[in-house]
């Protein structure tokens, strides 16, 4: 049983694939093959518009006729012979007496033409290629099933079919020849003998009915993506292929919005025990997704999906508090209108439900009628369009603690309804459709980062869409692989220790130094203040940025001859004497509030300074590194600029620089360009500004599948904006980007312990050595340097020796099975905010540091 979707039947080459696959299946299993096809892509959309009375019907029908004639020619078929009758039938629907009133039976007949045309063309083409293919009308085999309480629309245009048949039906089907048959998806026979439709995307379900009725070996859904993914791959390129699913999870993913499989297609196969597969017509060799009853159950989030066009109906009781029968009253009215309710939220006086546009006709007429009816028993409010965003996976309830980042992401949107399914398979958030834009990639990343989506489980999670489409990006091997011998030797001198590779540091510095649009570069020394590193960075032409008196003192100790003009002082909530000390050193001071000027006028009078602004928004890899917006302590809100300027003028203070730094680990290269544009606009108002400082925040690819930051795209964005405001010097303040990848932590395994199924590898490095995992849930690769030639095939949590549950360097990491105490372990990309944040908690000593030339 093979089903091919719209894009799989719209090109000649795809039909060659269809023919080849069908023949292969027939030969392999000496079996009958039934091929179900959709309409050519876009055709059902066009027919739906005509059915709804939108646009010029005859122009639309002529365009469709022409499209099929052209395609017939592309297939080297004679259009008149093959399509003459079908196109006549299509045109006849426009002169049909029902055309004006457009009743549902007429609409069904019109919609059916897409599949009838495509299957007719396909059968003729496959026959012409010498394949022994027959054609049959699906309506002769699939009968619509009348369901209780269905409204007229659903009984005709969103039908289910009878899914059990007697032997006579089977014998009749088996008597057809030849062995390979082509038929239509999407259409069935109504009890009145006319056409019924299975609903948008319903061809999958046609295939499933046929597969179940015929006890097929397998139902294969051939489409334009190589399987079901953890999210719509077109919206989330990092979505991972789900290689194996059980029916329940597949059902949940399909129901909650993954268009790749029609939600009603799973039950027939599940009941009949027929396995399903989702495969890609363009990449037929990829294994795709298998769905069956035997897939191992892995707890965790498997997918995130989104449904648009969701309608929320909020009903406020106008009667008594907790009035008996209120729910019965309102639901009775939904039943009366034949509307099926999806999600439900309730309180003592309010019940809010959602209507899914896939299951209901929810146009303005239907909603007006429903509202009028409901108004008799409650106060009604309709909220639309909404988007329902659903996390799907087994054991959602026990995952809540891992979802803090997900909650944080939603924290910025208005959530109308949260619903947790009683089968513990999904958690759904309903928000305004406009707010859902761009949210899925963020949520998907948060699910992986938090460990809620266990992507390391290779039994379920395959490659990402990005990897499939672009191939595996070859990333330069990290420096520590080449220098393994030296590192093992250094570890002899004691662990834990940080080791820094200067060539890597220089390479990063030079990449930024080459960006012409940038006039001034300041390294934020808080990331790593090692003297050798500071000197190397200054040698590459960078200035230094300090945030405390201690950092300033350190800079002038390490580099006594540094020009103070090359040093910035950008503190946060520092005491008065630190500002005074910084002015005394002659460095550039940045202020970010009015109160400092008001309280300490003598410190600032007659000085020049830079002003740090809060542009009203923030960004970054974790909530704790977002440094803009109301919730952040940094920066003067932009609307207060004028008040600050007045205060500054009164003290004869000159604002020569504007600065904004909104967060860290920001992925969009456009971010800095936008910051620059905002600052330039404000600087124009002030008239005294010479320099715009757009901060740092450049990301580092900590994870193996992360994309390295696109410095070129960033540079060209800046060049464009610089050209628009050439009068300002452009300054940046990178920290992490320069030093993260040059540093590693060397540690020794202390103990390897297996506790109730969880294996833990303990290190002598922990949260006191490298705080980022505990502080930000940061991800750092962990390797067993002593056993680099052994395969890393055993899962373990990597923990430190501190008496804190949070002392975890990494969870569910793959390490060699033979890992034992004494092995030298390496934690990668630890050069930024590593040693700088190390501490002596539990009275464990600070780590050692080495620099490799």
- For residue 832, which of 758, 744, 756 has the smallest C-alpha distance? 744
- Euclidean distance between CA atoms 848 and 210, whole angstroms: 69
- The smaller minimum CB distance to Mg ion, of residues 201 and 762, is found at 201
Of 151-159, 219-227, 539-547, 594-602, the window that binds ligand ADP (rule: CB under 6 A) is 219-227
- The smaller minimum CB distance to Mg ion, of residues 105 and 204, is found at 204
- Euclidean distance between CA atoms 315 and 327, whole angstroms: 10
Q: And the tokens for 532?
A: 């050798």
Which among ligand ADP, Mg ion, ligand ASP, none contacts residue 202 (Cβ within 5 to 8 A by kind)?
ligand ASP
Per-residue binding string, Mg ion, 548-587, x by CB under 5 A, is ----------------------------------------
Residues 792-851 that bind Mg ion (CB under 5 A): none
Selected binder of ligand ADP within 64, 303, 367, 740 (CB under 6 A): 303
- The smaller minimum CB distance to ligand ASP, of residues 114 and 834, is found at 114
Which among ligand ASP, Mg ion, ligand ADP, none contacts residue 44 (Cβ within 5 to 8 A by kind)?
ligand ASP
Q: Would you list the DSSP string of 202-269?
A: THHHHHHHHHHHTT-S-EEEEESSSS-BSS-TTT-TTPEEE-EEEHHHHHHHHHTT-TTS-GGGHHHH
In the complex, the smallest distance separating the C-beta of residue 722 from Mg ion, rounded to whole angstroms, is 47
Residue with tokens 């108004």: 375
Q: Output DSSP code: residue 630.
A: T
Selected binder of ligand ADP within 127, 233, 620, 663 (CB under 6 A): 233
Selected binder of ligand ADP within 62, 163, 224, 413 (CB under 6 A): 224
258 binds ligand ADP (CB under 6 A): yes
Residue nearest to ligand ADP (CB): 5
234 binds ligand ADP (CB under 6 A): yes
In the complex, the smallest distance separating the C-beta of residue 113 from ligand ADP, rounded to whole angstroms, is 17
Task: Return the SS3 of 830.
Answer: coil
In the complex, the smallest distance separating the C-beta of residue 52 from ligand ADP, rounded to whole angstroms, is 20
Selected binder of ligand ADP within 223, 290, 570, 786 (CB under 6 A): 223
Determine the distance from the C-alpha atom of residue 805 to the mean position of all C-alpha atoms in its chain, rounded to a whole number.
30
Determine the distance from the C-alpha atom of residue 411 to the mean position of all C-alpha atoms in its chain, rounded to a whole number.
17
- The smaller minimum CB distance to Mg ion, of residues 5 and 717, is found at 5
- The smaller minimum CB distance to ligand ADP, of residues 5 and 454, is found at 5
Residues 663-682 that bind ligand ADP (CB under 6 A): none
Which among Mg ion, ligand ASP, ligand ADP, none contacts residue 228 (Cβ within 5 to 8 A by kind)?
ligand ADP
201 binds ligand ADP (CB under 6 A): yes
Phi and psi at 748, nearest 5°, equal: -115, 140
In the complex, the smallest distance separating the C-beta of residue 272 from ligand ADP, rounded to whole angstroms, is 21
- The smaller minimum CB distance to ligand ASP, of residues 38 and 784, is found at 38
In the complex, the smallest distance separating the C-beta of residue 694 from ligand ADP, rounded to whole angstroms, is 36
- For residue 806, which of 830, 777, 835, 774 has the smallest C-alpha distance? 774
- The smaller minimum CB distance to ligand ADP, of residues 38 and 248, is found at 38
- Euclidean distance between CA atoms 269 and 247, whole angstroms: 9
Selected binder of ligand ADP within 217, 259, 585, 760 (CB under 6 A): 259
- The smaller minimum CB distance to Mg ion, of residues 224 and 804, is found at 224
Please, are residues 826 and 785 in contact by the beta-carbon 8 Å criterion?
Answer: yes
Q: Are strands 195-197 and 187-189 parallel, antiparallel or unpaired?
A: antiparallel
Interface ranges with ligand ASP (CB under 6 A)? 5-6, 38-39, 44, 114, 185-186, 200-204
Residues 198-227 that bind Mg ion (CB under 5 A): 201
What distances in angstroms separate CA 813 from CA 372, 478, 562, 796, one per listed residue? 58, 18, 44, 5
Please, are residues 801 and 761 in contact by the beta-carbon 8 Å criterion?
Answer: no
Q: And the tokens for 674?
A: 């936008």
- The smaller minimum CB distance to ligand ASP, of residues 44 and 691, is found at 44
- The smaller minimum CB distance to ligand ASP, of residues 201 and 773, is found at 201
47 binds ligand ADP (CB under 6 A): no
- The smaller minimum CB distance to ligand ASP, of residues 5 and 773, is found at 5
In the complex, the smallest distance separating the C-beta of residue 444 from ligand ADP, rounded to whole angstroms, is 11
Phi and psi at 778, nearest 5°, equal: -70, 150
Per-residue binding string, ligand ADP, 406-435, x by CB under 6 A, is ------------------------------
Please, are residues 254 and 307 in contact by the beta-carbon 8 Å criterion?
Answer: no
Which among ligand ASP, Mg ion, ligand ADP, none contacts residue 326 (Cβ within 5 to 8 A by kind)?
none
Which among ligand ADP, ligand ASP, Mg ion, none contacts residue 231 (Cβ within 5 to 8 A by kind)?
ligand ADP
- For residue 114, which of 89, 144, 136 has the smallest C-alpha distance? 89
Determine the distance from the C-alpha atom of residue 301 to the mean position of all C-alpha atoms in its chain, rounded to a whole number.
13
In the complex, the smallest distance separating the C-beta of residue 471 from ligand ADP, rounded to whole angstroms, is 19
- Euclidean distance between CA atoms 450 and 773, whole angstroms: 11
354 binds ligand ADP (CB under 6 A): no
- For residue 64, which of 113, 98, 102, 101 has the smallest C-alpha distance? 113
Give 229's contacts (C-beta < 8 A, 6+ positions apart): 236, 239, 240, 241, 242, 258, 260, 303, 465
In the complex, the smallest distance separating the C-beta of residue 268 from Mg ion, rounded to whole angstroms, is 16
Give 5's contacts (C-beta < 8 A, 6+ positions apart): 38, 41, 203, 204, 221, 222, 223, 224
Task: Return the SS3 of 695.
Answer: coil
Of 1-9, 146-154, 305-313, 789-797, the window that binds Mg ion (rule: CB under 5 A) is 1-9
Q: Would you list the DSSP string of 23-49?
A: HHHHHHHT--EEEEE-PSTTHHHHHHH
Which among ligand ADP, Mg ion, ligand ASP, none contacts residue 682 (Cβ within 5 to 8 A by kind)?
none
- The smaller minimum CB distance to ligand ASP, of residues 185 and 300, is found at 185
Residue with tokens 């590194």: 625
**Based on the number of CB atoms within 10 Å of its own CB, is 501 exposed (0-12), middle (13-18) or buried (19 or more)?**
buried
Which among ligand ADP, Mg ion, ligand ASP, none contacts residue 39 (Cβ within 5 to 8 A by kind)?
ligand ASP
In the complex, the smallest distance separating the C-beta of residue 36 from Mg ion, rounded to whole angstroms, is 11
Selected binder of ligand ADP within 83, 231, 406, 574 (CB under 6 A): 231
Which among ligand ASP, ligand ADP, Mg ion, none contacts residue 229 (Cβ within 5 to 8 A by kind)?
ligand ADP
β-partners of residue 622 are none
In the complex, the smallest distance separating the C-beta of residue 157 from ligand ASP, rounded to whole angstroms, is 11
**Based on the number of CB atoms within 10 Å of its own CB, is 328 exposed (0-12), middle (13-18) or buried (19 or more)?**
exposed
Which among ligand ADP, ligand ASP, Mg ion, none contacts residue 67 (Cβ within 5 to 8 A by kind)?
none
38 binds ligand ADP (CB under 6 A): yes
225 binds ligand ADP (CB under 6 A): yes
- Euclidean distance between CA atoms 38 and 265, whole angstroms: 14
Total number of residues that touch Mg ion (CB under 5 A): 2
**Based on the number of CB atoms within 10 Å of its own CB, is 550 exposed (0-12), middle (13-18) or buried (19 or more)?**
exposed
Which among ligand ADP, ligand ASP, Mg ion, none contacts residue 691 (Cβ within 5 to 8 A by kind)?
none
513: left (phi over 0), alpha (psi -120 to 50) or beta: alpha
Total number of residues that touch ligand ADP (CB under 6 A): 20
Phi and psi at 184, nearest 5°, equal: -100, 145
- Euclidean distance between CA atoms 289 and 279, whole angstroms: 7
Binding site for Mg ion (CB under 5 A): 5, 201
Binding site for ligand ADP (CB under 6 A): 5-8, 38, 201, 223-225, 228-229, 231-234, 258-260, 303, 305
């Amino acid at each position: 049983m093979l089903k091919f979707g719209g894009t799989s039947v719209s090109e000649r080459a795809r039909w060659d694939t269809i023919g080849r696959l069908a023949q292969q299946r027939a030969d392999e299993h000496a079996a009958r093959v039934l091929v179900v096809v959709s309409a050519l892509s876009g055709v059902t959309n066009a027919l739906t518009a005509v059915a709804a009375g939108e646009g010029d019907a005859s122009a639309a029908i002529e365009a469709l006729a022409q499209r099929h004639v052209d395609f017939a020619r592309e297939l080297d078929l004679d259009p008149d012979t093959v399509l003459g009758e079908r196109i006549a039938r299509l045109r006849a629907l426009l002169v049909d007496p029902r055309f004006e009133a457009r009743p549902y039976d007429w609409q069904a007949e019109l919609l059916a033409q897409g599949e009838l045309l495509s299957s007719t063309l396909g059968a003729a083409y496959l026959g012409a290629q010498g394949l022994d293919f027959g054609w049959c009308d699906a309506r002769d085999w699939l009968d619509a099933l009348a369901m209780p309480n269905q409204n007229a629309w659903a009984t005709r245009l969103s039908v289910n079919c009878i899914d059990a048949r007697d032997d006579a039906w089977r014998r009749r089907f088996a008597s057809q020849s030849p062995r390979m048959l082509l038929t239509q998806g999407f259409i069935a026979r109504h009890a009145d003998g006319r056409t019924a439709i299975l609903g948008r995307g319903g061809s999958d379900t046609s295939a499933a009915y046929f597969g179940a009725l015929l006890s097929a070996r397998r139902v294969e859904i051939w489409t334009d993506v190589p399987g079901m993914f953890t999210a719509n791959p077109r919206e989330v390129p990092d979505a991972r292929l789900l290689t194996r699913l059980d029916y329940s999870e597949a059902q949940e993913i399909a129901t909650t919005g993954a268009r790749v499989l029609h939600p009603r297609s799973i039950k027939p196969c599940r009941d009949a025990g027929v396995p399903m597969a989702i495969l890609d017509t363009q990449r037929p060799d990829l294994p795709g997704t298998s769905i069956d009853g035997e897939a191992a159950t892995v707890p965790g989030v498997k997918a995130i999906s989104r449904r648009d066009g969701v309608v929320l109906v909020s009903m406020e009781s106008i009667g008594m508090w907790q009035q008996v029968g209120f729910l019965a009253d309102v639901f009775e009215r939904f039943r009366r209108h034949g509307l099926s309710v999806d999600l439900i939220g309730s309180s003592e006086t309010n019940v809010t439900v959602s209507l899914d546009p896939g299951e209901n006709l929810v146009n303005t007429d239907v909603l007006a009628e429903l509202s009028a009816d409901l108004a008799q028993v409650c106060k009604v409010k309709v909220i639309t369009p909404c988007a329902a965003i659903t996390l799907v996976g087994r054991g959602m309830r026990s995952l809540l603690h891992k979802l803090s980042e997900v909650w944080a992401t939603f924290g910025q949107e208005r959530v109308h309804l949260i619903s947790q399914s009683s089968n513990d398979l999904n958690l759904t958030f309903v928000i305004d459709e406009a707010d859902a834009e761009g949210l899925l990639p963020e949520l998907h990343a948060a699910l992986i980062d938090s460990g809620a989506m266990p992507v390391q489980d290779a039994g379920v999670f395959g490659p990402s869409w990005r990897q499939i489409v672009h191939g595996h990006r070859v990333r330069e091997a990290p420096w520590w692989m080449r220098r393994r011998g030296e590192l093992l030797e250094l570890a002899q001198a004691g662990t834990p220790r940080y080791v820094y590779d200067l060539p890597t540091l220089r390479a990063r510095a030079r990449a930024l130094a080459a960006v012409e649009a940038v006039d001034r570069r300041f390294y934020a020394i808080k990331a790593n203040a090692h003297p050798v590193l500071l000197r190397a960075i200054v040698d590459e032409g960078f200035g230094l940025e300090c945030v405390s008196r201690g950092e300033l003192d350190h800079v002038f100790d390490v580099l006594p001859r540094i020009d103070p003009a090359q040093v910035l002082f950008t503190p946060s909530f520092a005491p008065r004497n630190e500002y005074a000390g910084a002015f005394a050193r002659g460095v550039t001071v940045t202020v970010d509030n009015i109160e400092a000027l008001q309280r300490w006028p003598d410190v600032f009078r007659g000085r020049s300074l830079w002003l740090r602004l809060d542009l009203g928004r923030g960004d970054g890899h974790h909530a704790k590194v977002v440094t803009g917006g109301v919730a952040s302590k940094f920066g003067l809100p932009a609307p207060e600029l004028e008040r600050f300027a007045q205060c500054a003028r009164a003290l004869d203070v000159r604002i020569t620089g504007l600065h904004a730094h909104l967060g860290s680990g920001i992925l969009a290269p456009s971010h800095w360009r936008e910051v620059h544009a905002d600052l330039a606009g404000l600087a124009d108002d002030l008239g005294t500004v010479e320099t715009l400082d757009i901060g740092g925040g450049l990301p580092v690819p900590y994870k193996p599948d992360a994309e390295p930051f696109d410095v070129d795209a960033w540079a060209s964005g800046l060049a464009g904006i610089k050209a628009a405001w050439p009068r300002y010097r452009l300054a940046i303040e990178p920290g992490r980007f320069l030093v993260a990848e040059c540093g590693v932590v060397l540690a020794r395994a202390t103990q390897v312990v297996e506790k109730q199924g969880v294996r833990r590898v303990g290190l002598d490095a922990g949260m006191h050595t490298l705080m980022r995992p505990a502080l930000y849930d940061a991800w750092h690769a962990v390797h067993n340097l002593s056993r680099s030639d052994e395969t890393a095939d055993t899962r373990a949590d990597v923990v430190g020796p501190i008496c804190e549950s949070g002392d975890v360097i990494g969870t569910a990491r793959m390490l060699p099975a033979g890992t034992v105490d004494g092995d030298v372990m390496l934690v990668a990309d630890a050069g930024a905010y590593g040693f700088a944040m190390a501490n002596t908690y539990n009275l464990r000593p600070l780590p050692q540091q080495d620099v490799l030339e």
